[in-house]
Chains A and B, each alone.
Chain A
Amino acid sequence: MSQTVTTKRSQRESAGPYGKIGHTLNELDDRLGVAKGGRTFLDKIFPDHWSFMLGEIALYSFVVLLVTGIFLTLYYIPSQDLTTYTGSYLPLYGQKVTEAYASSVNLSFAVRGGLLMRQMHHWSCDIFVGAIVLHMGRVFFTGAFRKPRELNWTIGTTLLILAIVNGFLGYSLPDDLVSGTGIRIAYSIILSIPLVGTYVAFFLFGGNFPGTAIIPRFFILHVLIIPLVILGLVGAHMGLLVRQKHTQFPGKGKTEKNVVGSPMYPVFMAKTTGFMFVVTGAIALLGAFAQINPIWQFGPYTASRISYAVQPDWYMGFLDGALRIFPAWSFHSFGYTIPLEVTIPAVIFPGILFNLIMVWPAIERKFTKDNALHNLLDRPSNRPKRTAAGVTVAVLCSMLFIASSTDVMANFFHVSLNTVLWSMRILCIVTPIIAYPVTYKICREMQGFAGAGKRKTTNVVSRTAEGEYLATPAPVYVDDVVHEHEHEAVAIPTFVSEPVAEDEASPSGVRRIPR
């Protein structure tokens, strides 16, 4: 009878060929059963197309937002109490300012690394919203939102709205002159809601503007409540992504029933971690070299002061532009007022816009009567109506965004404000109307263009012994041809008539670079 002695050596040996790690994994699997699912997860395939990277930019700028934001909360004081600024920025020295403003200036100048963190936080927010918009554009124009992914589209749209709202709350927190004006405008927009506007505004702000509670309430919304919701929804967004697997562009070997690309571990993990570093690095470089929101130059918020030529952050621009160019159509009747000059551009218009985006998958399903599951993406030109509709909305929003700089343009081009205003009004109506048919036409033209979106045919150039050069078409892979018939979209004229047998067409000794 030999006694079993548990030594480190015996443990190592019992763990099998994978050593300590294998042992740990076994122990983990005994308790949680991670081996099967873990292997599947490590083997998860990610498509290699560049456009799938846009969502990653959003994700990683959100990570930067969280990290830099935590740093900022350590030094920011969410209080409207007045204090005397005695920090190192001399032009403000001795002024009565709020604690919020003083602490924002202090964390920029007195805290080591504070200015960088603040600027990175602001930049990553602008990039976050921008990446979400581009990512949504990718998903929209390629039809990735179709069944079965409608729910994830809805979550994504909600994330966009939350990102915009939290961005607004965030840039309001320093309580500087520009952001204070923004809060004043937001208050007035809420007031303009018929029936309940005044109540909503009074409850949100704790009374008539400026109220007693903006900064503390905005703070807790900005740093806790909305980020938690965003975090939860990001988790759900990615959970659904893993569960439903990625979409992919049609191509060699790609079908509705598979995903082709790189495995999660280690290829995608390396690439995406590297990309996280690159996004972080780009934001840090922006924070270092591109000044953003210099609140010490704007000065503290005072309700009776205002600055000239101020614009909100870019993602609020389309609303500001809409407010600028909408005519003064206030509606009075039966002793009540609907300030349509505010309600339509700032409440009804964004309401319709975001609801339209939210329910677009349902709208499209209703029109196309297409209830099938889709995992292969559309080329935008193969869906001219959808593409044209998307471009129309994008053009409208871009025009409204430009309209948020009417005063700056008038100054810059030395034309009257009136000219700029009317030009923008006309452009905001005309360009979307033109955009639809033009996009539609371009899409149809692209469909007719042989080989649009395909790899160019490769020619193999060879030299004969006599010095003559010969260009022979490279072999065409069977799958490339097969696939074209597989994809149910509008038929694209094929650019190869028939597959050529490999051995005939490929002169020996010609090396093709593997992709």
Chain B
Amino acid sequence: MSEHEQRTPVQLSTVSADDPHLQPAARRPELVEQVIAVTFFLGVVLLAGFGACYWVNAAPWTLGATLGGGTTLLGVGLIAWGKYLMPRGPFVEERHEAASSPEERSAFAAAIVERGGGVIKRRKFLGGLLGAGMGLFGVVSAFPLVRSLGPLPKGTLFHTDWAKGTYLVDITGRRVHQDDLAIGSIVTVYPEGLENSDNGQAVDQTVLIRLSNEDYTTQKGRETWGPQGYVAYSKLCTHLGCPVGLYEQELQLLVCPCHQSMFDVTNGCIPNFGPAPRPLPQLPLMFDASGYLQSQSDFNQPVGPGFWERS
């Protein structure tokens, strides 16, 4: 058989047992067999080592090293076996057209259109009733499947738990006194009693910063909101609701680590960099008779990221 014929793909079902296509691809099969044997042996040894490592509870990396090494070696051996020692081919397989004959096609279409269609056309009322019933079934079954999943949003996103006279407390529940913060310091505060609740942490979280009395701009209408340089802003980034957890003291910026929005603390937390579209909502503050910080009311705006119903 010429080389040309040997390289011509043949059909597997037609080759005789002595056909060169069924011979191994390797020129020296014995050598390849030895190499594969060594590979398999090492693989099995490593897999046994995996068992041993597991048995003695060795370090996690030894488990992975033995398991990974063992399976890799077995795999490499097996691939080599398939590539070098099995029938080298190439073989060919005919591809039969998927399409049926024209007669079969039209018979199929006729069965659907005429047999079924005829029945439905004759009983339009029944079909319509069944259709309407199934539609209704679909709608009503969506109620428990969808509506039970959660409450309606209603006003939830517009309000937080801050209200007139709520005391500001830190994460340990301690109220903040007017002498507590040095100028330039920052603390995360929560409404009293909610510092450990989900809503308190996720929605009400607020940063309290003490600015020096001179170097900041008070927004119009917020003259009484920041007594003695204490200003409080929602900690929820107006971009995607990450906590605005980085305070660049020198630049007087609050930075969101998620997407690097920056809010100018000295100017009403108006964003001056990044994708956040709105200033952080401000919480109006006041002192009680003994000098502890309270909120005057809720935030001036809905906190956190934008949503459809937000005006």
A187, B237: Cα distance in complex, Å: 13
Contact with A along B66-90 (1 / 0, CB 8 A): 0111111111111111110011111
Q: Is A135 positioned at the interface, with any CB of B under 8 Å from its CB?
A: no
CB of A44 within 8 A of CB of B93, answer yes
- A268 and B89 CA atoms in complex are apart in Å by 12
Contact assessment for B306 and A192 in the assembled complex, using a CB-CB cutoff below 8 Å = yes
Complex CA distance for A209 and B65, rounded to whole angstroms: 42
Partner of B3, one of A194, A328, A514: A514
Asked whether B150 is an interface residue with its Cβ less than 8 Å from the other chain, the reply is yes
> Are the CB atoms of A274 and B239 closer together than 8 Å?
no
Q: Could you say which of B114-122, B130-138, B270-278, B282-290 contacts chain A?
A: B270-278
Output the nearest chain B residue to A202 by Cβ-Cβ distance. Answer: B150
- Complex CA gap A112/B12 in Å reads 49
Contact A245-B275, Cβ < 8 Å, known A185-B241, A210-B202? no
Chain B residues bordering chain A, tally (CB within 8 A): 93
Binds B, one of A9-17, A228-236, A277-285, A386-394: A277-285
Q: Which residues of B contact A338 (CB under 8 A)?
A: 306, 308
Which residue of chain A has its CB nearest to the CB of B188? A304
Instruction: List, in ascending order, chain A residues with CB within 8 A of B226's CB.
Output: none
Task: Report the bound CA distance from A253 to B5 in whole Å.
Answer: 11
A477 at the interface (CB under 8 A from B): yes
CB distance from B51 to the nearest CB of A (A): 11
A491 in the interface (beta carbon within 8 A): no
Contacts of B305 in A (CB 8 A): 188, 191-192, 339, 342
Contacts of B246 in A (CB 8 A): 308
Establish whether residues A191 and B306, one from each chain, have CB atoms under 8 Å apart when the complex forms.
Answer: yes
Give chain B nearest CB distance to A51 CB in angstroms: 16
Chain B contacts for A194, CB-based, 8 A = 308
Is the CB–CB distance between B242 and A306 below 8 Å? yes
A398 at the interface (CB under 8 A from B): no
Of A71-79, A159-167, A258-266, the one with at least 4 CB within 8 A of chain B: A258-266
Contacts of B245 in A (CB 8 A): 304-306
Q: With A and B bound together, what is the CA distance between A195 and B309 in angstroms?
A: 8
Q: How far is the CA of A137 from the CA of B190 in the complex (A)?
A: 50
Chain B residues within an 8 Å CB radius of A273: 75, 78
Distance in angstroms between the alpha carbons of A306 and B153 in the assembled complex: 26
Is A37 an interface residue, CB under 8 A from the partner? no
A267 near B70 with CB under 8 A, answer no
Q: Most chain-B Cβ atoms within 10 A of its Cβ — which of A208, A282, A302, A323? A: A208
In Å, the complex CA distance between A329 and B157 comes to 21
Enumerate chain A interface residues (CB-CB to B < 8 A).
Answer: 43-45, 48, 112-113, 115-116, 119-120, 148, 181, 184-185, 187-189, 191-199, 201-213, 243-245, 252-254, 256-263, 266-271, 273-289, 302-310, 320, 323-330, 332, 335-339, 341-342, 375, 406-407, 417-418, 421, 475, 477-479, 502, 512-515
Which residues of B are interface residues toward A (Cβ below 8 A)? Answer: 2-4, 6-9, 12-13, 25, 27, 54, 57, 60-65, 67-83, 86-95, 98, 146-147, 149-153, 156-157, 171, 188, 190, 198-199, 201-203, 205, 235, 239-243, 245-246, 257-261, 271, 273-278, 304-311
* Inter-chain pairs besides A263-B89, A330-B306, 7 sampled, C-beta below 8 Å: A181-B258, A187-B241, A209-B241, A210-B202, A261-B91, A268-B82, A281-B73
